[in-house]
Amino acid sequence: MSRLYAEDLQISYGEQDIVKDLNISIPDGKITTIIGPNGCGKSTVLKTLSRILNPKSGVVYLDGKAVSKESTKKIAQKMAILPQSPDSPEGLTVGELVSYGRFPYQKGFGKLTKKDFEVIDWALDVTGVREFKDRSVDALSGGQRQRVWIAMALAQETDIILLDEPTTYLDLSHQLEVLELLYQLNRDEKRTIVMVIHDLNHAARFAHHMVAMKDGSIMKEGTADEVMTRTVLRNVFHIDAEIGVDPRTRKPVCLTYDLIKNVKLVENLA
């Protein structure tokens, strides 16, 4: 059994049910990407897995224990979550923000120990933001800022890292930079990474395990080759996709696609 999994999740915002009867298991030491159309509930699932959102029913388990029953600080030592484009507080320096990643380990007034400083420096180094340490976070570019937030999540020293659309609003090279960083963290340190991601080709390229969601349920999960198929994309996104093989990575890529007309009609018939 994996360390992080959820059983029979029902999640709703107010009256509206977003996710119904969902079971998901996150493979340890792997990169999992979750794809799906807007409003399919993928961010909701990620938030529930990270106990930011409480499910209406169902249980999320981490290391065999329900996350709702365990101390939230203890969980924060095992699992970090980076929400979608968090607001950067004005005037806080990069070093200060990243140092708050040590919060789960601190007691009382939270004086930083030598160990804390070492971890913070490591997080700043590995994300390549050390040179901005004394700069204000809001003065950085979008890509730099995203790396700073990732550094804060890394400073939590968790085996599991969840990220909600970590590449949104970034340009092509910055997107790849962030994904490469996560890839290295997984390869070199065996960290479990789960991310919601919009770009299908990125999702396929970096995933060991891919989850395709639609209307609050999982339509298909498996390797990129199993999920990035014409049939799955047709069902999940209502697109007619041409799938090829990336000549460099040997992973499946969506070369081009068209919208499928009359989908509504088919759905109504069903």
Please give the residue ranges that form the binding site for another protein (CB under 8 A). 14, 47, 50-52, 71-77, 80-83, 86-87, 89-93, 95-97, 99-101, 103-104, 109-110, 112, 117-118, 120-121, 133-134, 153, 156
Smallest distance, another protein to C-beta of residue 33, A: 19
Give the C-alpha separation, 27 to 193, whole Å. Answer: 9
CB 153 within 8 A of CB 124: no
37 versus 83: smaller Cβ distance to another protein: 83
10 versus 93: smaller Cβ distance to another protein: 93
CA 134 to chain centre: 28
Smallest distance, another protein to C-beta of residue 51, A: 7
Smallest distance, another protein to C-beta of residue 27, A: 21
Smallest distance, another protein to C-beta of residue 143, A: 19
12 versus 223: smaller Cβ distance to another protein: 12
Smallest distance, another protein to C-beta of residue 218, A: 23
Long-range contacts of 38-43 (CB under 8 A, 24+ apart): 40/213, 40/214, 40/215, 40/216, 40/236, 41/11, 41/213, 41/215, 41/216, 42/196, 42/213, 43/84, 43/164, 43/165, 43/196
CB 60 within 8 A of CB 6: yes
39 versus 244: smaller Cβ distance to another protein: 39
112 versus 260: smaller Cβ distance to another protein: 112
